[in-house]
């Protein structure tokens, strides 16, 4: 199993989230396997990120306000910006994002799979025309589709099963 270095690891209702910093900005938010050891982050931004993430789990309409740094291609940045604008409780299809970005659904899916800031850039709110679609292509050795389902249930988009 792949080990992802993080500056902090926090517990969530569905597993662990790793937080990484670059200077005074978040550089990555990673979903990690449930067995990943917790790691306190002492940097004020890590503490604020933890507070905001836990606030989201208490209130699905919570809006994140954290500084983050994105490194990606111009296409990825355009897709991530479009995804960042999807409010909690709503979804768009890969095709709808593709139309907004003058792209293709497959290319949008590829950008979603490389999103370094899940939750903050809510790629779980991008779904297929019929069904949920994928979710980060099993990045970090973890099947993220159950996480996508959990997040969409949490936001009231789909019913729990």
Catalytic residue among 123, 126, 152, 157: 123
Question: What are the pLDDT digits (tens) for 23-69?
Answer: 999 999 999 888 899 999 999 999 999 999 999 999 999 999 999 99
The answer to whether residues 94 and 105 touch, using CB atoms and an 8 Å cutoff, is: yes
Q: Strands, DSSP E only, in 98-141?
A: 126-127
- Rounded Cα distance, 125 and 91, in Å: 5
Q: Is there a catalytic annotation at residue 101?
A: no
Segment (H or E) for 111: helix 105-113
125, 70, 73, 139 alpha-carbon torsion, rounded to 10°: -60
Report the predicted TM-score, pTM, of the whole model to 2 decimal places: 0.89
């Amino acid at each position: 199993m792949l080990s992802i270095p993080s500056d902090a690891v926090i517990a969530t209702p569905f597993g662990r989230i790793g937080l990484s910093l670059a200077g005074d900005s978040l550089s990555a938010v990673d979903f990690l396997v449930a067995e990943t050891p917790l790691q306190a982050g002492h940097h004020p931004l890590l503490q604020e990120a933890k507070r905001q993430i836990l606030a989201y789990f208490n209130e699905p309409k919570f809006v994140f306000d954290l500084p983050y740094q994105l490194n990606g291609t111009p296409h990825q940045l355009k897709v991530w910006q479009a995804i960042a604008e999807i409010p909690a409780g709503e979804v768009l299809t890969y095709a709808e994002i593709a139309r907004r970005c003058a792209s293709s659904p497959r290319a949008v899916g590829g950008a979603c799979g490389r999103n370094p800031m899940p939750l903050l850039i809510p790629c779980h709110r991008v779904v297929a025309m019929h069904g949920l679609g994928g979710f980060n292509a099993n990045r970090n050795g973890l099947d993220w589709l159950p996480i996508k389902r959990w997040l969409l249930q949490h936001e009231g988009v789909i019913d729990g099963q």
